[in-house]
Structure 1
Amino acid sequence: MSDIENEVFEKENATNKSSLLSSPNAVPNGSQIPRKQKKKWSKKRSIIILITLIVMTVWLLAIGIGVGFGLPELLEQKTKPLDQNETVRSGARNGNVNTGGLTINISHENQSEINREIVSVRDRIENTTELLKFQSTTLDPVDVERTRLEKELERKLKRKNDVDRTYLEDTTEAGLNTTAESRAQVTTKAVSYTSTDPTSVKVTTQLRLNETKIVDKVTDQPALEDIYEPEINSTTVPIVDANIPPKRKKNVRLVTVGAVAADHATCSDIGRDILDGGGSAVDAAIATLLCNGIMQPHSMGIGGGCFMVIYDQHRQAVDVINGREIAPEAAALDKYTNKSPLFGPLSIAVPGEVKAYWAAHQKYGKIPWKDLFAPSIKMARDGAPLSASAARGLRFIRNRLAKNLNTTLNQSYPELCEIYCDENGDILKENSTIYRRAFAETLQGLADEGPDYLYSGEGARKLIKDIKKFNGIITMDDLKNYKLKDTRAISYQYGNITMHTLGAPSGGPVMGLILKIMEGFNFTADDLSSLDKKTAMFHKMIESFKFVYADRLKLADPLFVNLEDLMNKMVSPEYADFLRQQIDTSSTHNTTYYTNLTSGNWDSYGTTHISIIGPDGDAVAVTSTINYYFGSLLYSPSTGIILNNEMADFSFPDKTVLDQLKSQTSNYVAPGKTPLSSMCPAIFVDNNGEAVLVMGSSGGARITTVNSQVAARILWLDQSVKEAIQTLRFHHQLFPNHIIFEEKFPKDVMNLLHTQYGHKYTERTTYMAVVQGIARDLTTREIQAFSDERKHGKASFLQRNVTVVN
């Protein structure tokens, strides 16, 4: 050591000598302490004292906050409400906390410790469950917590000095050997919780919370170099005989969350794709209907009209839209004195289809209006195959016209034949490619400009020019003045199921009243178990049809005929009871038994229906028509639109229109009036606010009776939507007074209805109405959909991957 260093050391030694000797740890006289070692030892001592003061200060502050300043009140503000039980049990206080499906019960002698543990346990569980999406019903909380805590324990056991942290099985304080100079004090507290996750078995398990302190063996003070921060290590231990369930397998499977049922597979797929792309049920309906106008042109299109029912599950509200055609201003009874309104220019009513689409989209649309037209524009421009049902429609009108009106398609309706006839003038066959480029231009105009294009714009001018060439009576003012009519939405209650549909002039009141009468007969699946039971049930159904069809003859456009009393009666449960009591369950009767009216009418063969349920639970039912097959048989070459023959649905004095019979004055034609219709789209909703059945059909006067049969089979006869739609059906509309059975209907049933109950009947050689339905299983809540194969329809399903626990 140099002289300078010696001098400095002696000065420092003289300064600190008295304090060193007075210290309890002072070195005895005569002991030699190396100077550098002494300097190091003093610094370490200072650090230890400083750390000890900080730790004790923090500890005292924590106790003061917990006890003196109302930790429970602080927890009340910062965490979920606590349900603490102050009852003393075996000398211990108790507390519990509810969080995320777990109930945690904590026992401790000190209430502040309960508070502290509540905070810690809650933070651990809530952080874990948030991270692992504990709220999902596909996760088992027992598995989640056990897995996390086991991993945490494994990590913490690999601590300094390899301390053996054995978990104790009772609430005690015990010592564990750590190092030669220190020992561990471990306080173990039992905490229990019960899993209440709906997908798992209820199992009570136990969390064991260990608070560890490392202390000096001699002084019983914290050994600073070996101290561990207080921590909670947890594991799951069964209480009494309860067993922790094994970790359950989680499988991913496809679940149907939405569906589109249309009478053509391509159109169902387009609607499904709209749903899958985030579109609403209304968006999907519009895109599907536009497609139907191309794939099923004999049944519907923008040259016709529709009824629409919309169910908004979020609001649990129903909207109805009446987009039906109306008579032009020039329409008057005298114009039809010597001319048939079935085909040709006088049969065309002012179309309302596009106006209905627009109104629905303005309120419920999510996808831009223009995007809904793109798939159909492409098909019209690039060509689409002639569907089987459209080819059948062509055969039907060709044969029928030649037989009854002494004309042929290519002779009287050359414009339509340009699209649907070959070079020899014969109708095209199934799968022939149909190009409708003029129609593609019209759809593009509607996509770009909205409905104004067809009602006041360039499309309207083209359409009116063609109608004038046909000697039609619709004018530009008729198009400009067309407005959707406010129509009453009506509801019928069947147990805990409510049916929503439209009032007059739709067939909704007819279908609803028929089902209300049927409900009182308490039909069950047992009524299908034998020939006698089945036939007795069918007789009651048929008699229900006849009574309600007597009231149908009085229906009309409520804006022209006062129907308030009649409508109130038809939606009344008491009136349904009254009619049911009039039914003779052993025999049928002649028409005067049901009504004093002496005439009725048959109506159209065409029409189409679509049903939709979206992933958000919203539902849409739309029935659309141009009335007869290919409507008026007039095709606008400038716009590509096939025009309706809806005027044929009006009644005319002393005139029989093809296979119609005379009707009542309430349905006589008048300017601006909507003709009576059988179309009745319907949505059934349960008491949970979910749409459980969305349905409708095409088929003229047979729509209401067929809808009723299908709905009854689903609601009361325990049949799936597929079974109910596939089953053979029958129809009766009072005039004429006989049953019409679908082809291949069981002969034994028909014969028994005739011999035992007195019914007359005929067999139909073609299908009877076409139903599109979507149903939700009332037990599993899964969505089922089926499109009637009578018209080669096919439903399309929106499916999503969902994790399920086995």
Structure 2
Amino acid sequence: MDRRTFLSSLPVAATALPMVGSPLAAQARPAASTASGSDFGNRPDIHAGDRTAGASFATRSMAYGHNGAVGAAHPLAVLAGVETLKRGGSAVDAAIAVNACLGFLEPVSCGIGGDCYAMLWDPKLGMVVGLAGSGRSPRSLSLATVRSRATAGIIPAFNSVSVSVPGAVDAWWTLHERYGRLKWADLFEPAIAVAKEGAPVPEIIAANLKRELNRAAGPNSKAEEKENALRLFAPSGETPAAGETFRNPDLARTYRLIAEGGRDAFYEGPVADTIHAYLQRIGGFLTKADLAAHRSEWTTPLFVNYRGVDVHAIGANTQGIATLQMLNILEKFDMKGAGFQTALSLHLQASAKRLAFEDRARFYADPDFAKVPTDWLLSKDYAALRAELIRPDRMPEPVFPGEAPGHGDTTYFTVADKDGMMVSWIQSNFRGLGSGLVPDGLGFMLQNRGQLFSLEEGHPNLYAPGKRPFQTIIPGFATRAGQPWMSFGVMGGDMQPQGQTQIIVNRVDYGLDAQAAGDSPRWYHEGSSQSMSEDDPGMTSKGELHVESGVPEATKAGLVERGWIVTPTVGDYGRYHCIERRGHGTERVYAAASEMRADGIALAY
């Protein structure tokens, strides 16, 4: 169907939901300015108005429904997901439709040039299932060549040496083969329609697009490498401002090829041919043979039990187990007794992060190439040893990884359907738009995930041809008593495990509902022994503990007293969506929560 038919087919209540004042959706609060540019919008001392029910700091109510729910970073993508569910699609069908729309609507965070991971509750199997859609490095690219392109031991982000095989489309195809109900081609119709006709750009996406294009196609880029990116995202010389319409007919044509030809159109057909020819022309390394060899991987997620809640994570070459390590450590402390948003509570959480991230820097890698001591890292005994390093009155300093026995942008969304399937889905280009490299006429940028390889000799994440790089993107899932509870995620580089941990602590220890748990002021600790980019040299001793303006002043002072370098920062503390399942059988109710710091919404019906 075309976009007009798609939008007109929605019920009046659904199309009206993004309006101000709706109980199911609200406009994102700008961090530093209003849409009109008035200085009156830059008032961090002014917070959301009073609520008559729920947490005082909550920005909106959750969306409730019996039949399905969708939460994502753009309202039009959410509507596409809801409409897919209403046409009889599964949660996976709806997730593919959402992701395809977001590749156009939110190109600064995702796209078919990137990778994709998913966890889902399979109601027939009665268990959480995982899929890793992570591409490998080019087989023709040697370690010596990568080192020759590096600066101070860091692989450049905006260069063909950082390009790895895009895994998203194969992940979609693999999930659809097992769980899809609607025809593959039908899932792309909403995205094709909106990419052709265009859509107004929301505030947060507009600001991020301008910033990231300046980085990806900046003065250090070669003319032949940045011309396609500039033509695509800034055809008039500037990226679209908030409220201006953006179109991408090239991406619409690429989606049509994938809709008609399946995953083979991308990895072995015309899309692969174009990617190969473009990279050969600019001196890149990824080839059609690399694309053709790619396959996604089904995986059984790892989990730890945190005070009666099983929290799941995909282990293979991701930072997912960092969330689990942090929770294992925090379980050793009386977090409820520490108090909500107190200095002690944030101190314990940030201390657990520092310890877990040192293990992340030392051990996490592609298990096909390195022996990752996962069982040991996730053991309760090891967590107890790490917890002993945390004092209540002083930040742990210095911190080291354990001795093993013998800024990043992403989109996260979640979907649930009438049969009880819940999907937690995350997809990313890595550095905002990605590598800066846009293959001729395809309408998307290739990812630069390969920047996260290590160049340190002997490191498990050392670059090698045909290897999957360490991944930051991680979906989240939690179960209770063997039943699904929450499909959730927090986007944004190494904020992801920190944000996931805060959500679980807020829900389990402090009893907040799904919306209030996300609206609660967040913290973000920056710094570890693992460098994430040229702008992040890694641990500089204590790092910095960033806190949102909503954190109480007494809490900030208490953190400083404990030795933390506290930096109140208005900025990106991750973007969150969640679907909670309440009740079972005919009494099942979905409660969907969305992020007030960004442009998206959550809907249920």
In 2, Cα distance between equivalents of 1:766 and 1:519: 29
**Equivalence for 2:379:** 572
- Cα deviation digits, residues 205-252 of structure 1 (max 9, x gap): xxxxxxxxxxxxxxxxxxxxxxxxxxxxxxxxxxxxxxxxxxxxxxxx
**Equivalence for 1:748:** 554
- C-alpha spacing 1:589/1:573, structure 2 compared with 1 (3 Å): closer
* Cα drift, residue 772 of structure 1: 1.3
**Further displaced range: 281-290 or 731-740:** 731-740
In 1, Cα distance between equivalents of 2:222 and 2:190: 30
The answer to whether the Cα contact below 8 Å between 1:409 and 1:417 also exists between their aligned partners in 2 is no
* Cα drift, residue 407 of structure 1: 4.7
Instruction: Find 1:543's aligned residue among 342, 346, 351.
Output: 351
Structure 2: state its 5+ residue gaps.
1-63, 151-155, 529-538
Q: Match of 2:466, SS? A: coil
Aligned letter for 2:563? G
**1:692 matches 2:485:** yes
Q: Match of 1:626, SS? A: strand
The answer to whether the Cα contact below 8 Å between 2:545 and 2:564 also exists between their aligned partners in 1 is no
- C-alpha spacing 1:417/1:410, structure 2 compared with 1 (3 Å): farther
Q: Match of 1:473, SS? A: coil
- C-alpha spacing 1:634/1:729, structure 2 compared with 1 (3 Å): same
The answer to whether the Cα contact below 8 Å between 1:742 and 1:766 also exists between their aligned partners in 2 is no
* Cα drift, residue 558 of structure 1: 0.5
Q: Match of 1:302, SS? A: coil
Q: Match of 1:417, SS? A: helix
**Equivalence for 1:725:** 518
**Equivalence for 1:257:** 67
**Equivalence for 1:94:** none
Q: Match of 2:559, SS? A: helix
Aligned letter for 1:523? M
* Cα drift, residue 409 of structure 1: 10
**Equivalence for 2:89:** 279
The answer to whether the Cα contact below 8 Å between 1:466 and 1:638 also exists between their aligned partners in 2 is no
**1:343 matches 2:158:** yes
- C-alpha spacing 1:471/1:388, structure 2 compared with 1 (3 Å): farther
Instruction: Find 1:297's aligned residue among 107, 119, 127.
Output: 107
- Cα deviation digits, residues 346-367 of structure 1 (max 9, x gap): 2211111111111111111111
Q: Match of 2:302, SS? A: strand
**Equivalence for 2:370:** 561
Instruction: Find 2:126's aligned residue among 316, 337, 347.
Output: 316
The answer to whether the Cα contact below 8 Å between 2:104 and 2:251 also exists between their aligned partners in 1 is no
- Cα deviation digits, residues 731-768 of structure 1 (max 9, x gap): 2354342343244243331221111x122233334121
**Equivalence for 2:576:** 771
Q: Match of 1:462, SS? A: helix
* Cα drift, residue 724 of structure 1: 1.1
Q: Match of 1:442, SS? A: helix
**1:492 matches 2:292:** no
- C-alpha spacing 1:356/1:393, structure 2 compared with 1 (3 Å): same
Instruction: Find 1:587's aligned residue among 371, 394, 412.
Output: 394
**Equivalence for 2:226:** 413
* Cα drift, residue 592 of structure 1: 4.0
* Cα drift, residue 262 of structure 1: 0.7
The answer to whether the Cα contact below 8 Å between 2:476 and 2:500 also exists between their aligned partners in 1 is no
The answer to whether the Cα contact below 8 Å between 1:263 and 1:793 also exists between their aligned partners in 2 is yes
Q: Match of 1:621, SS? A: strand
**Equivalence for 2:319:** 507
The root-mean-square deviation of aligned C-alpha atoms, in Å, is: 2.5
**Equivalence for 1:166:** none
The answer to whether the Cα contact below 8 Å between 2:311 and 2:478 also exists between their aligned partners in 1 is yes
The answer to whether the Cα contact below 8 Å between 1:410 and 1:417 also exists between their aligned partners in 2 is no
In 1, Cα distance between equivalents of 2:579 and 2:432: 26
**Equivalence for 2:204:** 389
**Further displaced range: 785-794 or 625-634:** 785-794
**1:466 matches 2:274:** no
Q: Match of 1:560, SS? A: coil
Aligned letter for 1:774? I
Higher relative contact order (CA 8 A, sep 6+): 2
In 1, Cα distance between equivalents of 2:312 and 2:112: 25
The answer to whether the Cα contact below 8 Å between 2:204 and 2:598 also exists between their aligned partners in 1 is yes
In 2, Cα distance between equivalents of 1:360 and 1:328: 25
**Further displaced range: 296-305 or 574-583:** 574-583
**Further displaced range: 255-264 or 608-617:** 255-264
- Cα deviation digits, residues 297-347 of structure 1 (max 9, x gap): 011111110111121123212221110121011222221234253103222
* Cα drift, residue 410 of structure 1: 8.5
**1:159-308 equivalent positions in 2, closer than 5 A:** 255-308=65-118
In 2, Cα distance between equivalents of 1:723 and 1:650: 37
Q: Match of 1:331, SS? A: coil
**Further displaced range: 740-749 or 767-776:** 740-749
Aligned letter for 1:706? G
In 2, Cα distance between equivalents of 1:501 and 1:398: 32
The answer to whether the Cα contact below 8 Å between 2:351 and 2:396 also exists between their aligned partners in 1 is no
TM-score, structure 2 length as denominator? 0.81
**1:63-78 equivalent positions in 2, closer than 5 A:** none
- Cα deviation digits, residues 615-641 of structure 1 (max 9, x gap): 221111111110011101121232222
Aligned letter for 1:727? S
The answer to whether the Cα contact below 8 Å between 1:743 and 1:767 also exists between their aligned partners in 2 is no
Aligned letter for 2:351? E
The answer to whether the Cα contact below 8 Å between 1:740 and 1:764 also exists between their aligned partners in 2 is no
How much identity, in percent, do the aligned residues show? 26
Q: Match of 2:313, SS? A: strand
Q: Match of 1:308, SS? A: strand
In 2, Cα distance between equivalents of 1:334 and 1:612: 43
In 2, Cα distance between equivalents of 1:595 and 1:750: 29
Q: Match of 1:640, SS? A: coil
TM-score, structure 1 length as denominator? 0.61
- C-alpha spacing 1:390/1:457, structure 2 compared with 1 (3 Å): same
* Cα drift, residue 481 of structure 1: 1.0
Aligned letter for 2:316? A
Instruction: Find 2:411's aligned residue among 597, 608, 619.
Output: 608
The answer to whether the Cα contact below 8 Å between 1:679 and 1:697 also exists between their aligned partners in 2 is no
**Equivalence for 2:443:** 640
In 2, Cα distance between equivalents of 1:594 and 1:466: 42
- Cα deviation digits, residues 25-82 of structure 1 (max 9, x gap): xxxxxxxxxxxxxxxxxxxxxxxxxxxxxxxxxxxxxxxxxxxxxxxxxxxxxxxxxx
In 1, Cα distance between equivalents of 2:392 and 2:338: 14
Structure whose alpha-carbon radius of gyration is higher:
1
- Cα deviation digits, residues 781-803 of structure 1 (max 9, x gap): 64221221222111121x2xxxx
The answer to whether the Cα contact below 8 Å between 1:742 and 1:767 also exists between their aligned partners in 2 is no
- C-alpha spacing 1:625/1:410, structure 2 compared with 1 (3 Å): same
* Cα drift, residue 712 of structure 1: 1.2
